[in-house]
Amino acid sequence: VDCIFCAIGRGEIPANAVFESDEIVAFRDLDPQAPTHVLVIPKEHFQDVADLSERNPQLAAKLLAATTTVAELEGLADGYRVVTNLGADGGQSVWHVHFHVLGGRSLQWPPG
């Protein structure tokens, strides 16, 4: 497959899903950095959040709202982090837009 997250969105590669709608899927990160580490993606391919917000702002808003749903489902009332990495300097490693939802422990700031 050319894009691993497109394949997850189509259900071709198994993922540990915590939330799914017709347009969005949220699933657990393969290499979790916190007790909760969930990735929220649109099923349609956009390379990063800039591409998504330019081409489909309505879907961008839905993706952001889905991070709130994940936090509620995961019981992150004490706080959590929503982050998206963009480009080489941003540390992006999968070129299909995703929000990370991290929580379940006290997180440090700033990132490296």
User: Which amino acids are annotated catalytic?
Assistant: 98
Unique residue bearing structure tokens 């929503």: 82
Q: How far is the CB of 12 from ligand 5GP (least distance, A)?
A: 11
Rounded Cα gap, residues 103 and 100, in angstroms = 10
Distance CA 8, CA 72 (A): 23
**Which option in ligand 5GP, Zn ion, none does residue 45 bind, with CB closer than 5 to 8 A by kind?**
Zn ion
Q: Which position among 20, 23, 29, 51 is part of the footprint of ligand 5GP (CB under 6 A)?
A: 29
Question: Which of 3, 4, 64, 82 is the binder for ligand 5GP (CB under 6 A)?
Answer: 4
Determine if 20 is a binding residue for ligand 5GP (CB under 6 A).
no
Q: Is 62 near Zn ion (CB under 5 A)?
A: no
Q: Is 15 in the site for ligand 5GP (CB under 6 A)?
A: yes
What is the amino acid identity at position 2? D
| Among residues 47, 56, 68, 92, the one that binds ligand 5GP under rule CB under 6 A | 92
